[in-house]
Structure 1
Amino acid sequence: MEQIEGNFWPAPGDDATRLVRTAHALRREPIGSLGPEGLRLLISQDIGLDVLVPRAITLLHQDPLAEGDYYPGDLLGAVLEVPSEYWARHQDLAEEVDGIAGTVPEEDLLHPLPERIALFRSGVKHFLHS
């Protein structure tokens, strides 16, 4: 991702948290090698959204409940929490995410996914289903 963005972060300091060290390392990985957990972590930290959200959507089309380290669907949960400003710029992707979320039977949605889907839909309702 660093090469795509042309933004090379300096090495994290000795006192950096595990999250910071992991995010730095993941930014150096080839985008195609990032799985659900790497995507979940970076997206949830608002890192590289323009590059990573489309990749996450591709994985979610294959498996809406793609799982990182937390629970089935945690990648979808991270994508649903992307700031609404992003979705305003990428309305086509918002429509895709809404469609993906709609494919998962309600009984398969673990907490907090139902609430995140509802919040996502309320946050982007002005351009969903228009």
Structure 2
Amino acid sequence: MDHLLHLDRTLDELDPPRWPVPAADATHLVRKVHQLRCVPLGELGPADLRTLVAQRVALPYVLPLTVRLLVEEPLLDAYFYEGDLLLATVAVPASAWAVLPGLAARLRTVITVLPDATVAALPRGAAGQLTRFVARPPTGAS
């Protein structure tokens, strides 16, 4: 299924069950994620996607949008620093990519063409994260 066909729908619609209203004492992050589930996918910005990816929310719908942005601008500064969306995305567990093997392959290609100097300028540990993502066996491999 092409998850990008649903840009007019929200995660609450696409990823049931709908989440209840957060508790009155919920953290800012919890309230933000709940709000983002009510935004049509096509209206989610890079910072929104970074938040959803980092919190592992509705990844089959969020990762296609995220990778689409990263193909265009791998080191996009979504919220905190240059490359933050990429690093949040490669930190997603391998199991989340199982339903999106072609997307994982596209992201691997994007990462492998990044200049070494660019990768070296990312925060400490980033090069290792990127290397581990690229080295992961494709879904279905032993």
- TM > 0.5: yes
Deviation sequence 1:3-55 (CA, Å, 0-9, x none) = 12243111111110111011011111111111111101111111010000000
What is the aligned counterpart of 2:137 among 106, 125, 128?
125
Q: Which residue of 2 aligns with 1:116?
A: 129
- Give the structure with the higher percent helix: 1
8 Å contact kept, 2:77–2:84: yes
- Taking only the aligned residue pairs, the percentage that are identical comes to 33
Tell me, which stretches of 5 or more residues in structure 2 are unaligned?
1-10
Count matched residues.
126
1:96 aligned residue: 106
Distance 2:47 2:20 in 1: 23
Amino acid at match of 2:49: L
**How many angstroms does 1:89 deviate by?**
3.0
1:50 to 57, 60, 67: 60
Match of 1:85 among 86, 95, 112: 95
Whether the 8 Å contact between 2:101 and 2:138 is mirrored in structure 1 is no
- The answer to whether the 8 Å contact 1:65/1:76 transfers is yes
Q: Normalized against structure 2, the TM-score is what?
A: 0.82
Specify whether residues 56 and 80 from structure 1 end up closer, same or farther in structure 2 by C-alpha distance, changes over 3 A only. same
Deviation string for 1:69-93 (max 9, x for gaps)? 1111111111101111122332211
**Aligned position for 2:7:** none
1:106 positional shift: 1.9
Q: Which runs of 4+ in 1 moved over 3 A?
A: none
Worse-superposed segment, 29-38 or 106-115: 106-115
Which amino acid in the other structure matches residue 108 of structure 2? D
Residue matched to 2:76: 66
The RMSD of aligned alpha carbons is: 1.5
Structure 1 gaps, min length 5: none
Distance 2:40 2:99 in 1: 25
Structure 2 distance, partners of 1:3, 1:63, is 29
The CA distance in 2 between the partners of 1:126 and 1:30, in whole Å, is 31
